A and B are shown apart, each in its own frame.
Chain A
Amino acid sequence: MNRLARCLLAIVTPALAPLAVAEDNAPTLAIVYIEPNVGGASGGHIALRIDEEVYHFQRGGRERLELIREEWPCFEHSYAGLQNRSLLLARLELSPDVVQRIRDHLTLVYARQQEDTYRHERLVRDRAWLEGLAGVAPLPALPAAGLFTVSPTRGTGALRERVRQHFGNTFIEKRLRVAEAIIADLAASDGADLESYREALLEREALRAIDEGRAVAAEALLEIDAAPSLTDVELSSLVALERALEQATLALLNSSRPDRGQSLLVTLARWQVVGLSLERKRLILLDALPDDAASFSPEALGGASAVQGLAARAARVFTEVRQATLDGDLPDETHYNLLEEIATRYQELERGARGETMRHEPSRLLSARLVPARGRVVEGAVLKWDPEPRLLKLREELERSRQALATRYEYDLLARNCVTELVRAINDSFPDAAGAERALGERLEPGARWTFWPSVLFDRVATHWRVSSITLVPSYRRRELAHLYREEFPPLVYLREATTLTSTIYTPRAEDGAFLLFTDDAALLRPLYGAVNLAYGLMSALVGLPLSLFDDGERLSAGLNGAFYSLPELAFLNIRKGTFADVEAEPGSRGRRQDRAVPAQNPCGRAP
């Protein structure tokens, strides 16, 4: 597609949105251009889709430019749905080998990034532990140790007998002595291997849990009150799972992997909750969120009533996953873990729906599945040496590591942004420049020819790379508008949906700024609408000024924000489109969520 055609497409697609239905046939590899919107998205964004995965660079909370990998449905849900930004996909005509080469390289870049982050976090952890052992700070909690109580109650007595039968009467005592020796070793050594120390503590906790018959901590349990009792089919799955977990416990006890302690604790705790489930004929699981889960109020999701809709959706998902996981056969670990995670999220949404504070995972776990890891402080060694020199060394190492990360993942507006790094990653997938040129049609220097700008890069790709097709995924509002145009009298729909005050699709949000008219689907009238929006924003700011004493300047800020993003509209440019706290997958399904008996195909995954 040539430049003119693409420009025309960009201008007219808003108006033609009802006609521009995206025929998205899961391209093998596509460059994705994401329209701008307010906030941190004003310049647009660029991503690479490979089959059902998306890779893109983002400047996140750690102020580093990081490679994000996510599933296409989630990406689409987040960007086209919640962020209300249309996506353009330029599908590249590449051989499967080339696609695999690019995917392999991106996976490697991702692995490098994860490894760098892990090493840095391990230093942070080491420092915290050494400070705790030195008594200058509290000891950190040991992940998964808090899954069990310290007092013997009912717990794992039966399992202890099983272990004795299998490995002999003295097995646990011997393993405990080994763990104690490693723990004691730290007291005498220089503290260089704190990871082994933590692993030994975890193993000791697991062995004690078996030996002393400890029970799973009540706080680690999760039971969905509204969920029905277990069916015979589900009970069959759990019986099989209980046996499998017992076998896994024996295998882990005999394992020589260094990190077996944590896995052993999780397996033991699961074994107990499966036993409890069978006993009570109710599904009991482990809470999958860690101790340092972040808390937030339901207001962040639009208030308790908005969360009720999410909770209803979560209930459906939980039911689907429960049925698929406990289908009479032995569930594998990933399925069972998924059930734990979804039950945990469902429970949090239920809390939010009641107006209570909710929890979600800390940012370090955003790209990972949630495995139960409730922590507890575990006393270990009493140091027999002065920890100060080692602490000093650790702090220096940590500073060097921080600087190295800052350099390696540095963000620069023009030289190292989401566009340049994606181009660099694609280039680096090939052994040389000629290889990239042969495969793609052109090898682009990162940032060259103004391609540090997302829309310019997309234009370059569309005109110079081997593009087989370009498809549009309309933003949520455009998609809903298209539906309304088909269902109702179009002029009436236009008039009603053009303003934020009368729109049935959009609900004004403070973070979008104060604006009156949507301009993303009003290309020709944009300057006029922009002038109205500018006046509206300034008026809102004026009204908000005296109200600042009462609303912390929220209205003033929204007004100024609204006025600022009206300025580009005066020059025919649109940035602001409005965003959504929640969106439904099915066009036209707004307002009838509760009525649907059959779950819709969710944007963030297919129903099983």
Chain B
Amino acid sequence: MRSRRRFPLPLALVLPPLLSACMISESVSVSASQILGLASNSIKSISNSITGGGQAGAPRDIKAYAVLCAQENTNEVEFLRGIGRIARQHGITHWEAEPHLLVAAGEGLRSGGMSEDDMERFGARLAARDETTAQWVLQGYTLEGYGGRAQ
């Protein structure tokens, strides 16, 4: 059980209201800034999408997801579902037309510690579903110059 710090009673009474630091301020954040947010999501996306600044977002998230897949031995069906889910969060539904996402997934599998033997087997199962997808993922896994740091 985690040990908790003990504070004198007066401090314990004063701290909670003053240290409610991490709460989302519902009235401001949720109502106004989200729609304002044109603000929260959309205008943000202008800089992202149109200037190209956010192009790294989807591959980075897919790579991180693939790290988790490698660590948890996720099967190929769930792996592909996850790529679809994350791509959709970035506004992409037809991710098979975006090979860089699959390359990022391959990088993530290596980064997550998937061995070459395991990758071979995983790649074969992917190829049985779709050869092109498997090739891009494999290319990411074997990307030259990749540091391969396990996270």
Give 4 nearest A-B pairs by CB, closest first.
A40-B23, A43-B21, A418-B22, A111-B64
Q: Are B91 and A334 in contact (CB under 8 A)?
A: yes
Q: Are A39 and B27 in contact (CB under 8 A)?
A: yes
User: How far, in Å, is B93 (CB) from chain A's closest CB?
Assistant: 4
Q: Are A43 and B97 in contact (CB under 8 A)?
A: no
Known: A107-B60, A321-B46. A256 touches B129 (CB 8 A): yes
On chain A, the residues within 8 Å of B32 by CB distance are 82, 300-302, 581-582
Chain A positions 311-359 with a Cβ under 8 Å from a chain B Cβ = 313-314, 317, 320-321, 324-325, 333-335, 337-338, 341-342, 345-346, 348-349, 352, 358
What are 30 A-B pairs at a CB distance below 8 A? A39-B27, A42-B17, A58-B22, A61-B30, A70-B44, A73-B47, A74-B37, A74-B39, A78-B39, A82-B33, A107-B63, A108-B67, A114-B65, A195-B81, A248-B94, A251-B96, A252-B94, A252-B96, A296-B31, A301-B32, A301-B36, A317-B43, A333-B91, A333-B97, A369-B89, A371-B88, A415-B5, A418-B21, A605-B44, A606-B47
> Using an 8 Å CB-CB cutoff, how does the interface string of A475-493 with B read, 1 for contact, 0 for none?
0000000000000000000
On chain B, the residues within 8 Å of A78 by CB distance are 28-29, 33, 37, 39-40
Decide if A104 is an interface residue (CB 8 Å cutoff).
yes
Known: A345-B42, A415-B2, A604-B39. A251 touches B53 (CB 8 A): no
Decide if A156 is an interface residue (CB 8 Å cutoff).
no
Docked pose: A215 CA to B78 CA in angstroms = 32
Docked pose: A605 CA to B129 CA in angstroms = 40
Docked pose: A107 CA to B36 CA in angstroms = 26
Known: A65-B22, A418-B22. A71 touches B64 (CB 8 A): no
Chain A positions 58-86 with a Cβ under 8 Å from a chain B Cβ = 58-61, 65, 70-71, 73-74, 77-78, 82-83
Q: Which residue of B is nearest A105, CB measured?
A: B151
On chain B, the residues within 8 Å of A320 by CB distance are 46
> Using an 8 Å CB-CB cutoff, how does the interface string of B58-88 with A read, 1 for contact, 0 for none?
0011011101100000000100111011101
Q: Are B35 and A321 in contact (CB under 8 A)?
A: no
Q: Are A251 and B23 in contact (CB under 8 A)?
A: no
Decide if A25 is an interface residue (CB 8 Å cutoff).
no
Q: Are B37 and A43 in contact (CB under 8 A)?
A: no
Q: Which of the residues A52, A317, A368 comes within 8 Å of B42, measured between beta carbons?
A: A317
Q: Which residue of B is nearest A68, CB measured?
A: B24
Given A266-B93, A582-B32, A607-B46, 13 other A-B residues pairs in contact with their CB atoms under 8 A = A40-B25, A43-B20, A59-B24, A78-B33, A104-B149, A108-B64, A256-B130, A257-B133, A341-B45, A413-B15, A564-B17, A605-B43, A605-B44
On chain B, the residues within 8 Å of A252 by CB distance are 94, 96
Q: Are B42 and A338 in contact (CB under 8 A)?
A: yes
Decide if A241 is an interface residue (CB 8 Å cutoff).
no
Q: Which residue of A is nearest B23, CB measured?
A: A40
Q: Which of the residues B64, B97, B149 comes within 8 Å of A251, measured between beta carbons?
A: B97
Docked pose: A173 CA to B93 CA in angstroms = 24
Q: Are B38 and A317 in contact (CB under 8 A)?
A: yes
Decide if A579 is an interface residue (CB 8 Å cutoff).
yes
User: How far, in Å, is A200 (CB) from chain B's closest CB?
Assistant: 13
On chain B, the residues within 8 Å of A112 by CB distance are 68
On chain A, the residues within 8 Å of B41 by CB distance are 341, 361, 366, 369-370
Decide if A454 is an interface residue (CB 8 Å cutoff).
yes
Known: A74-B40, A605-B46. A413 touches B16 (CB 8 A): yes
Docked pose: A103 CA to B81 CA in angstroms = 25
Decide if B13 is an interface residue (CB 8 Å cutoff).
no
On chain A, the residues within 8 Å of B94 by CB distance are 248, 251-252, 263, 267, 333
On chain A, the residues within 8 Å of B51 by CB distance are 606, 608
Q: Are B23 and A58 in contact (CB under 8 A)?
A: yes
Q: Which of the residues A60, A70, A115 comes within 8 Å of B24, measured between beta carbons?
A: A60
Q: Which of the residues B22, B39, B40 comes within 8 Å of A59, measured between beta carbons?
A: B22
Q: Are A310 and B35 in contact (CB under 8 A)?
A: yes
